[in-house]
Amino acid sequence: METYGCQMNKAESESILISLMRDGWVAADSDAEADLVILNTCSVRETAEERIRGRLGFYRHAKKQRSFTLLLTGCMAERLKETVLDEHPEVDVVVGTFSKNDIPAAVGRSLAGNAPVVSSEAGEYAFAEMHSSGGMKAFVPVMHGCNNRCSYCIVPAVRGPEVSRSPVEILTEFRRLSARGTREVTLLGQNVNSYRWNDGTSALGFPGLLKHIAGEGGSVRWVRFLTSHPKDLSDELLHVMASSPIFCRHIHLPLQSGSTRVLRLMNRGYSADQYRSCVRRIRDTLSGAALTTDILIGFPGETEDDVAETLAMMEEVGFDDAFLYYYNPRAGTPACVMPGALPDEVKHERLARVIAAQRSIGRRRAVERLGKEVEVLVESVSKKSPGELLGRTEWDAMAVFPGAQSLIGEFTRVRLASLAGTTFRAERA
């Protein structure tokens, strides 16, 4: 199994593996030994699809040496559907976003008929029975799809409209993970805080779902969620987060641009000032909370003044970290045919400046945290030093410190002593 793209894909990959193992399959140690190879794909950027095409070329060559079944699923499979087989005859099975639960059966049909199988039915997304087998950290999808129409984004086309998962299913999975000793759960959705459940007798929004989760107890000590949309970040949600220590004081809130003009072109549904208001409400309600973001540079028609506004917003907010990328045109989106397309060299140069600015801002934010005592979830032995452990803070920063391996999977308090790049050097508190 090779997984590309977002955390939702990672969660779905685990569901696929579980369903295949229930069907009698056993995980292979390497692609060289596998009878079945699955690529769970991403279409958000052209660079992701190019990488996947490279892997398909690798497996095309591998098929000349031995026989195996190659399955393509995920957003790229949904976007291209039948044309995949024309471009990549090495692919045996194509399964779209809305048919992932059909993978075991589709593989069976391919093996029985020794012919390509395409399974890409229109319809409502079906959540898998079980998204995680447990472990120290786990993903739990709570909603899927997107009703926003950002002008640059292919997600609504390949993921479909928003579908919220039953709170009964979510809480059942949460309890199952807690019973297996899971310590941290991340709730997932393309726009997770737009979660809405209405079964005709009762209605529940995302803050209400979090209240139920906070009352569960058990082994789960930390709950995160991804990804928030600024227009759906309510005061009620922030107050629920503040009411329980189970919710990590960390919000990922995509900005995309600090220019209201560009945000309007992107159809993001908020202005730069409205984003600032969100930040103020977060800071006022969640003291010391970390803020991370996404920023898209090089959108059609972007000017130097727009870049300057983005850089000013970054300085003003002081993001702890950011995912920074330049605009890739995606066929079928409004932005793809907008005037004012920028040359790649301009996009690259502007992105380099934004990256340099965020490195400086992120380091400044990290330095401000030095000397503090914080809790970390111990994940593993440090790769560089077998006598040290690697843990993560509630704002998802790495901290390395001396400690016994028996602490792995546990929470412990450390004092942040110094920085080595973006990693904290710490001591047990």
Q: Is 123 exposed, middle or buried (0-12, 13-18, 19+ CB in 10 A)?
A: exposed
Q: How many CA atoms lie within 13 A of 316 on its CB side?
A: 15
Q: Which residues pair with 420 in a beta bridge?
A: 423
Contact by Cβ (8 Å): 220, 177: yes
Cα separation, 2 vs 72, in Å, equals 10
User: Residues 339, 343, 346, 352: is their CA dihedral positive or negative?
Assistant: positive
Contact by Cβ (8 Å): 77, 157: no
Helices (H) and strands (E) in the chain, counts: 13, 20
Q: What is the mean pLDDT of residues 355-384?
A: 96
Sorted by sequence, the CB contacts under 8 Å of residue 216 that are 6+ apart come out as 171, 174, 175, 178
Ordered domains of the chain (ranges, CATH)? 2-119 (3.40.50.12160), 137-369 (3.80.30.20), 373-428 (2.40.50.140)
Cα separation, 219 vs 177, in Å, equals 8
The per-residue pLDDT for 329 is 93
pLDDT digits (tens, 9 = 90+) for 167-186: 999 999 999 999 999 999 99
CA distances from 199 to 147, 175, 203 (A): 19, 22, 7
Strand 222-226 with 184-188, pairing: parallel
Cα separation, 64 vs 61, in Å, equals 5
Q: What is the mean pLDDT of residues 408-420?
A: 97
pLDDT digits (tens, 9 = 90+) for 304-350: 999 999 999 999 999 999 999 999 999 899 999 999 999 999 999 99
> Which residue type sits at 238?
L
The per-residue pLDDT for 129 is 56
pLDDT digits (tens, 9 = 90+) for 17-59: 988 998 999 999 999 999 999 999 999 888 889 999 999 999 9
Q: List, in sequence order, the alpha helices (H) in 162-243.
A: 167-179, 206-214, 235-243
Residue 207 CA, chain-centre distance (Å), reads: 20
> Which residue type sits at 307?
V
> What spatial distance separates the first Cα and last Cα of the chain, rounded to whole Å?
40
Give the predicted TM-score (pTM) of the model. Answer: 0.90
Question: For residue 163, how many other CB atoms are within 10 A of its CB?
Answer: 14
Q: Is the pLDDT of residue 132 over 60?
A: no
Q: Residue 415 phi/psi, 5° resolution?
A: -105, 125
Q: Is the pLDDT of residue 134 over 70?
A: no
Q: Is the pLDDT of residue 360 over 70?
A: yes
Q: Is the pLDDT of residue 200 over 60?
A: yes
Pick from 307, 317, 200: which is nearest to 252 by CA?
Answer: 317
